[in-house]
């Protein structure tokens, strides 16, 4: 079990929680426009923008000189299309003459090749002793043994029953107990009082702005 340490400290006086003041709308301060001795003089005007005008192209001035063409100018006529004549092929002549007879080698006719006989070389190596071969065991089918159920002298007695599950029941809610205390709220007092009438300024309605033409 937990042991609670003891001491000689005891709370004195009454405990209270200060109440938070409720919401109160504050008064908006009046905007004061600063005054000065600066005054605009004369009339204000906005310069008018010049309208678009197409620019004038400058007239081309041809430079003058003392160069003059002499004689008459003429253009040569181009000849019309004419099919060209193919040149006659001429066989060049020389003094080289082939001498003797030309012989063409005859191609051999395909013939099946003869099979060569295998020649087994003889040697003086002989095997000694007896040759033993390992015999492989053949696979034989194994018969499964029959399962034998062991018998005993144990017998169930009485009746078998399954316990019933309890049905669902809604649980009972515990009654709330409000603790009692001797705490009394202490409301602070002040000398601040709202004066005058409270009013909310009306918002101006929507009006389409006018576009000034330049």
User: 3-state DSSP helix/strand/coil percent for the chain, to nearest 5?
Assistant: 0, 0, 100
| pLDDT top residue among 42 and 1 | 42
What is the pLDDT averaged over residues 158-185? 83
Report whether pLDDT(214) > 60.
no
Report whether pLDDT(196) > 70.
yes
CA 128 to chain centre: 82
Per-residue pLDDT, 126 = 83
Per-residue pLDDT, 107 = 87
Q: Kindly provide the b/e burial profile for residues 18-38, where b requires at least 16 CB atoms within 10 angstroms of the residue's own CB.
A: eeeeeeeeeeeeeeeeeeeee
Report how far residue 55's alpha carbon sits from residue 49's, in angstroms, rounded to the nearest whole number.
Answer: 17
Task: Specify whether the CB–CB gap between 177 and 9 falls below 8 A.
Answer: no
What is the pLDDT averaged over residues 136-158? 84
Per-residue pLDDT, 162 = 85
Per-residue pLDDT, 212 = 64
Report how far residue 194's alpha carbon sits from residue 213's, in angstroms, rounded to the nearest whole number.
Answer: 51
Query: Mind listing the pLDDT tens digit for each residue in 64-106?
Result: 888 888 888 888 888 888 888 888 888 888 888 888 888 888 8
Report how far residue 197's alpha carbon sits from residue 211's, in angstroms, rounded to the nearest whole number.
Answer: 40
Per-residue pLDDT, 213 = 61
Query: Mind listing the pLDDT tens digit for each residue in 9-54?
Result: 888 888 888 888 888 888 888 888 888 888 888 888 888 888 888 8
Q: Which of 157, 185, 213 is nearest to 16 (CA)?
A: 185
Chain mean pLDDT for the chain: 84
* Both tokens assigned to 142: 């194994």
Per-residue pLDDT, 174 = 82
* Both tokens assigned to 198: 């409270």
Per-residue pLDDT, 40 = 81
Report whether pLDDT(211) > 80.
no
Report how far residue 19's alpha carbon sits from residue 190's, in angstroms, rounded to the nearest whole number.
Answer: 14
* Exposed / middle / buried, residue 122 (Cβ in 10 Å: 0-12, 13-18, 19+): exposed
Q: Which of 13, 18, 19 is nearest to 182 (CA)?
A: 13
In which band, very low, low, confident or very high, does the pLDDT at 204 lie, cut at 50, 70 and 90? confident
| pLDDT top residue among 214 and 196 | 196
Quickly tell me which residue has 């194994």 as its tokens. 142
Query: Mind listing the pLDDT tens digit for each residue in 95-126?
Result: 888 888 888 888 888 888 888 888 888 888 88
Report how far residue 17's alpha carbon sits from residue 181's, in angstroms, rounded to the nearest whole number.
Answer: 13
Report how far residue 166's alpha carbon sits from residue 164's, in angstroms, rounded to the nearest whole number.
Answer: 6
Count of residues in the chain: 214
pTM for the model? 0.12
What is the pLDDT averaged over residues 130-141? 82
């Amino acid at each position: 079990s937990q042991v609670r340490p003891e001491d000689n400290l005891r709370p004195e006086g009454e405990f209270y929680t200060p109440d938070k003041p409720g919401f109160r709308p504050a008064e908006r301060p009046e905007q004061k426009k600063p005054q000065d001795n600066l005054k605009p003089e004369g009339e204000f005007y906005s310069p008018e923008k010049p309208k678009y005008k197409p620019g004038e192209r400058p007239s081309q001035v041809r430079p003058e000189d003392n160069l003059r063409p002499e004689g008459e100018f003429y253009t040569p006529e181009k000849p019309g299309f004419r099919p060209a004549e193919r040149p006659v092929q001429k066989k060049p002549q020389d003094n080289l003459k082939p001498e003797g007879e030309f012989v063409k080698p005859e191609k051999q006719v395909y013939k099946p090749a003869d099979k060569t006989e295998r020649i087994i070389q003889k040697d003086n190596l002989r095997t000694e002793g007896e040759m033993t071969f390992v015999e492989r065991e053949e696979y034989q089918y194994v018969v499964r043994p029959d399962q034998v159920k062991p018998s005993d002298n144990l017998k169930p007695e009485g009746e078998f029953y399954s316990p019933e599950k309890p049905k669902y029941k809604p649980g009972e809610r515990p009654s709330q107990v409000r603790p009692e205390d001797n705490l009394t709220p202490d409301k602070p007092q002040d000398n601040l009082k709202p004066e005058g009438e409270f009013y909310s300024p009306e918002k101006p309605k929507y009006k389409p702005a006018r576009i000034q033409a330049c």
